[in-house]
A = this chain, B = another copy of it.
Amino acid sequence: MSKILVFGHQNPDSDAIGSAIAFAYLAKEAYGMDTEAAALGAPNEETAFVLDYFGVPAPQVITSVKDAGAEQVILTDHNEFQQSAADIREVEVVGVVDHHRVANFETANPLFMRLEPVGSASSIVYRMFKETQVEVPKAMAGLLLSGLISDTLLLKSPTTHATDSQVAEELAELAGVNLEEYGLAMLKAGTDLSSKSAAELIAIDAKSFPLNGNQVRIAQVNTVDIAEVLERQEEIEQAIQASNAANGYSDFVLMITDIVNSNSEILALGANMDKVEAAFDFKLENNHAFLAGAVSRKKQVVPQLTASFGG
């Protein structure tokens, strides 16, 4: 039996990378599987902080499973094929650990699949450590905690599940960190956008969604100062126009999220701005508008756009 690659989605965030590394470890320990963690992109600044903090090397970056010498994969933190490896349809998905909706996903054979509507894929991986009674090493606890903090913006996002606070407390204890202090430091590490080109900025955390025949790109950047990001609006808009043209996106929706006050500014460009405005019941002025209380792409942006673009 050859190795099984374990990886999160494209444009990996701390949950994608943390859940993949920790699940690859757990699957070895609990089930004796020959698993190996990978990632569909380099760590972003936040994840680089996390890996450095807990002394874990970044996983190998792959684009094709077969080129990496594997035929079987386990997906964490995603299931939609367009968010996965380039050759995902040509290999066997033997497992999925995820907390997203299911779409554009199918298999030829029965598989292991564990989805829960909770704050992070890392929350689920941690639950599986407990169920299988595998001890959680300090570094693994740190990665899982970071995945949960990242995806829930320190338990403030509406995607946070009732069980996640307890998970965060237990993981912080196991990782030997103070939840609030570590969490804020980690999130802030991801908001230093000064070293990023505009093209890099819009790709930090971006996913594609096929909506009723349109290809909608929805990206998110975290900041402690929305105005500071908007100072670069012209440059960012050029990068978005270039990305739409190069990749055939009909629309690009960028969430600029204030992680301290839990709000977002939406900057949007594309062919269907009427539908974007209808989705959020706001009016774009100079291509952007404020969305009070919105921090979650999954709960506060994707469903609204899906409904507005129509079935």
Cα distance, A111 to B102, chains bound together (Å): 8
Q: Residues of B contacting A108 with CB < 8 Å?
A: 101, 303, 306
Residues of B within 8 A of A107 (CB): 101-103
Please tell me if A116 contacts chain B, counting CB pairs below 8 Å.
yes
Whether the pair A303, B102 counts as a contact (CB closer than 8 A) is no
Cβ A106 vs Cβ B109 within 8 A: no
When the two chains form their complex, are residues B105 and A111 in contact, meaning their CB atoms are under 8 A apart? no
Contact between chains at A110 and B115 (CB < 8 Å): yes
A156 at interface, CB cutoff 8 A: no
* A248–chain B nearest beta-carbon distance, Å: 22
User: A106 touching B102 by the CB < 8 A rule?
Assistant: yes
Alpha-carbon distance between A104 and B107 when the two chains are bound, in angstroms: 10
The answer to the question of A9 belonging to the interface, with a C-beta cut-off of 8 Å to chain B, is: no
Chain A residues 295 to 311 lying within 8 A of chain B, measured CB to CB, are 298, 303, 306
CB-nearest residue of chain B to A161 = B110
Q: Which residues of B contact A103 (CB under 8 A)?
A: 106-107
Which applies to chain A's interface (DSSP): helix, strand, loop or mixed?
loop
A213 to chain B, nearest CB (A): 16
Which residues of chain B are near A116, meaning CB under 8 Å? 110, 112-113
Would you call A106 and B117 a contact (CB within 8 A)?
Answer: no
B109 engages A99 (CB within 8 Å): no
- The CA of A106 and the CA of B105, in the complex, are separated in Å by 8
Whether the pair B106, A110 counts as a contact (CB closer than 8 A) is no
A110 proximity list for chain B (CB < 8 A): 99-101, 115-117, 298
Contact assessment for B101 and A112 in the assembled complex, using a CB-CB cutoff below 8 Å? no
CB within 8 Å of B: which of A93-144? 99-117, 131
Measured in the bound complex, the distance between the Cα atoms of B103 and A113 in whole Å is: 13
Knowing that A102-B105, A102-B106 touch, tell me 12 more A-B residue pairs with CB under 8 angstroms. Answer: A99-B110, A101-B106, A101-B108, A102-B102, A102-B113, A108-B303, A108-B306, A111-B115, A112-B117, A113-B115, A113-B116, A114-B115
- 27 pairs, A vs B, C-beta closer than 8 Å: A99-B110, A100-B110, A101-B106, A101-B107, A101-B108, A101-B109, A101-B110, A102-B102, A102-B105, A102-B106, A102-B107, A102-B111, A102-B113, A105-B105, A105-B106, A108-B303, A109-B117, A109-B303, A110-B116, A110-B117, A112-B116, A112-B117, A113-B113, A113-B115, A113-B116, A114-B114, A131-B131
